Chain A
């Protein structure tokens, strides 16, 4: 309390350090704005690094090209994993947290000093990790499974990134606190801020796991203490590794709600349901880290089944709820605008040319139909026997983290950059096709990996020829993955060029609204009405979710059938 008030005394300046957004009319805290920009730009730099690594890897796994030499392949796998899954995502998430805690609830950022400390620690840590990897002293993969050992700087860098992020998350919660104390808003938090808070809570638990596992490992790498048990390491590490992806899921869903609102004016049918689903994430998602130990020694079947299903499936329930509420809110908004023809008439009238909207819609579809279904299926204890450490695993998470989270974050950037940097996008025509290219490319990557993995092709291996058992079909799907990667990385580069080009050369939109990407229009002759009272009106969403459930069930039971065909094993 006294610490907080002292901070407030030293930092709050009555000469309002804010501006009014000319597009949304919202009050923008300039301190928050600076750190949203800094974190978002850094995030995009790490995305670029990870993207360059991605194409090198894909062109190596595509055996017909087999680009990198063996040592550089494993080095770049390590580099790619950390830059994409940790640095790009964490920096962007800190930007989202600073946004969600200030602008929607008219608050200022708790402390710019704390934000500087957080940002500096994260940046220094990330640079340390990247340098030590590229120097060839940490060829250990992102997971760095003991007894594999990297240079101490590798662990120290990760610890710095984790602690820096934790400090940023503290800044987020402190901002929520002062906003509540100063009554900057009336009533409950907006849904976007609520979702971000769910992500932040999961982030705290995640990063604590990171600290618990990385500190003794760092100490071991310095020769100070004995080696931690490799199985203990796996269990705690995945408390960091998988749970950090659940931070992404919560943040991504918050972004879906936000973009749905910005592009179509969608309003949740039932706030209670949406919020309860976020609470389910907080309560039940952490145990999904058990998914990585399903064919491990040392943990028994009861432990595996309990940690996979009971808690995990309530988190799946949460995702399935969002999979209904997000499209349902959009559908009811569209029907309210007069687009009522048939079951799917409203879909044609959606603002598909708005890159933020198309990115969010593709993100939802890829995350749900590919990432979600494969994730739950592969995370089934017994089915994991025919999937563990094959390319099916990256096939799954490229659909969740890349096709889902990354694409949603890209979509958000199409609003964040014009609104916060106050420059309109350059080459808007290219921006409109970028999400389609990226989504299409990553879909091919995911499909290629998944099918190659079903044929037994391992992940994280430089060459599959020494095994001498993989036929033309496996090679074909590795080629599909390679072609998908070329498209996706080209779209990623396009995204980076568009963002950087806009920040540097975009036409300034100071004092006027940003150039509109195109929001959903009211049908000719119709009058906009609210249909929120109509609880059975979302026919299209009901049809889509039914198809989804059918695909889910078919894929799920097909995998049980495939499992039944292998040798009896216990």
Chain B
């Protein structure tokens, strides 16, 4: 009958199984709505998006200072930088690299500032599969605890031009 005009008295309150289903569905929607604030306070993985405005040139300068102060080595021409445990770190995204390589201590928590000096990029830490958006003009601070040791790869997962698939970075946790 959906193709035709309904009968005059179509306005009826839901009844029976249909009413029950609406109730159950609404309840489920509430459960899902409450899960997010619950996890915000009790869970360990969140996207609080602590953000500061930053000019790309200023972010570049802060990153260079951070590299100069904390440099511990070099891999394939890219500096390896070890921030102080509990301290600040900088990760610069640009076409097509992540700069620098970060060296973290297992179990320590770091505030990692991420921004871009050109296009938008996607921070995708693999194989953990932790993903955040990186946008020029925005200093996005991710507070991260390096819970497991090993070598982790940063893949760019926001399209950023022809070299996008080769924009690979590294985080080393010891």
**Are B142 and A570 in contact (CB-based, < 8 A)?**
yes
| Stretch of B57-65, B67-75, B84-92, B145-153 on the interface side | B145-153
Which residues on A sit within 8 Å (CB–CB) of B162? 70-71, 74, 139
A481 vs chain B, min Cβ distance (A):
17
**Are B45 and A564 in contact (CB-based, < 8 A)?**
yes
Given contacts A231-B138, A301-B49, contact A569 B29 (CB under 8 A): no
**Are B17 and A295 in contact (CB-based, < 8 A)?**
no
Given contacts A296-B133, A382-B39, contact A301 B46 (CB under 8 A): yes
B87 vs chain A, min Cβ distance (A):
16
**Are B36 and A382 in contact (CB-based, < 8 A)?**
yes
In the complex, whether B136 has a CB less than 8 A from a CB of chain A is yes
**Are B135 and A271 in contact (CB-based, < 8 A)?**
no
In the complex, whether A335 has a CB less than 8 A from a CB of chain B is no
Bound-complex Cα distance A304 to B49 (A): 10
Closest to A386 in B: B129
Closest to B167 in A: A466
**Are A308 and B119 in contact (CB-based, < 8 A)?**
no
- Contacting B at CB under 8 A, from A516-540, are 534-536, 538
Given contacts A145-B158, A301-B40, contact A566 B10 (CB under 8 A): no
Which residues on A sit within 8 Å (CB–CB) of B51? 297-298
How many interface residues does chain A have, given as a range?
35 or more
Bound-complex Cα distance A304 to B33 (A): 12
Which residues on B sit within 8 Å (CB–CB) of A385? 45-47, 130-132
Which residues on B sit within 8 Å (CB–CB) of A314? 29
In the complex, whether A461 has a CB less than 8 A from a CB of chain B is yes
**Are A185 and B130 in contact (CB-based, < 8 A)?**
no
Which residues on A sit within 8 Å (CB–CB) of B5? 105, 185-190
Which residues on A sit within 8 Å (CB–CB) of B144? 567-570
Closest to A468 in B: B153
Which residues on B sit within 8 Å (CB–CB) of A254? 2
| Stretch of A7-15, A90-98, A256-264, A496-504 on the interface side | A256-264
Which residues on B sit within 8 Å (CB–CB) of A545? 21
In the complex, whether B140 has a CB less than 8 A from a CB of chain A is yes
Closest to A541 in B: B17
Bound-complex Cα distance A258 to B3 (A): 6
Closest to A463 in B: B165
A6 vs chain B, min Cβ distance (A):
29
- Of A268, A388, A390, A567, the residue contacting B1 (CB under 8 A) is A268
A189 vs chain B, min Cβ distance (A):
7
- Contacting B at CB under 8 A, from A139-180, are 139, 141, 145-148
Which residues on A sit within 8 Å (CB–CB) of B19? 535
- The A/B interface has a contact count, at CB < 8 Å, of 298
**Are A148 and B119 in contact (CB-based, < 8 A)?**
yes
In the complex, whether A469 has a CB less than 8 A from a CB of chain B is yes
Which residues on A sit within 8 Å (CB–CB) of B137? 229-231
**Are B49 and A299 in contact (CB-based, < 8 A)?**
yes
Type the 1/0 row for A539-560, where 1 means its CB is closer than 8 Å to any CB of B: 0011001000100110010001
**Are B25 and A320 in contact (CB-based, < 8 A)?**
yes
A120 vs chain B, min Cβ distance (A):
30
**Are B164 and A461 in contact (CB-based, < 8 A)?**
yes
- Contacting B at CB under 8 A, from A426-454, are 454
Type the 1/0 row for B24-68, where 1 means its CB is closer than 8 Å to any CB of A: 111011101101110110011111111100000000000000000
- Of A188, A266, A294, A564, the residue contacting B43 (CB under 8 A) is A564
Type the 1/0 row for A269-304, where 1 means its CB is closer than 8 Å to any CB of B: 111110000000000000000000111111111001
**Are B32 and A295 in contact (CB-based, < 8 A)?**
no
Bound-complex Cα distance A191 to B6 (A): 8
Which residues on B sit within 8 Å (CB–CB) of A104? 3-4
**Are A556 and B3 in contact (CB-based, < 8 A)?**
no
Given contacts A299-B49, A381-B36, A386-B130, contact A569 B120 (CB under 8 A): no
Which residues on A sit within 8 Å (CB–CB) of B122? 388-389, 458
Closest to B15 in A: A535
Given contacts A190-B4, A261-B2, A297-B138, contact A313 B29 (CB under 8 A): yes
**Are B33 and A535 in contact (CB-based, < 8 A)?**
no
**Are A297 and B32 in contact (CB-based, < 8 A)?**
no
- Of B29, B46, B131, B160, the residue contacting A387 (CB under 8 A) is B131
Bound-complex Cα distance A461 to B168 (A): 12
**Are A271 and B6 in contact (CB-based, < 8 A)?**
yes
- Of A70, A261, A568, the residue contacting B3 (CB under 8 A) is A261
Which residues on A sit within 8 Å (CB–CB) of B165? 70, 461-464, 466
- Of A231, A382, A464, A566, the residue contacting B129 (CB under 8 A) is A566
Which residues on A sit within 8 Å (CB–CB) of B168? 466-468
Given contacts A385-B130, A460-B159, contact A147 B21 (CB under 8 A): no
In the complex, whether A201 has a CB less than 8 A from a CB of chain B is no
Bound-complex Cα distance A388 to B125 (A): 11
Which residues on A sit within 8 Å (CB–CB) of B161? 139, 148
B128 vs chain A, min Cβ distance (A):
5
B124 vs chain A, min Cβ distance (A):
6
A interface residue numbers (CB < 8 A to B): 24, 70-71, 74, 77, 104-105, 139, 141, 145-148, 185-192, 229-231, 234, 254, 257-258, 260-262, 266-273, 293-301, 304-305, 308-310, 313-314, 316-317, 320-321, 324-325, 328, 376, 380-382, 384-390, 454-456, 458-464, 466-469, 534-536, 538, 541-542, 545, 549, 552-553, 556, 560, 563-564, 566-570
B interface residue numbers (CB < 8 A to A): 1-8, 10-19, 21-22, 24-26, 28-30, 32-33, 35-37, 39-40, 43-51, 109, 118-120, 122, 124, 126-133, 135-140, 142-148, 153, 155-162, 164-166, 168
Instruction: Please name 5 further chain A to chain B contacts, defined as beta carbons within 8 Å, in addition to the given A231-B137, A297-B140, A386-B129, sorted by A numbering.
Output: A70-B165, A380-B36, A390-B157, A466-B168, A542-B17
List 20 A-B pairs, Cβ < 8 Å: A189-B5, A190-B3, A190-B6, A261-B2, A271-B6, A295-B132, A298-B51, A301-B47, A309-B32, A316-B32, A317-B29, A321-B21, A381-B46, A386-B129, A462-B165, A466-B168, A467-B126, A568-B44, A569-B130, A569-B142
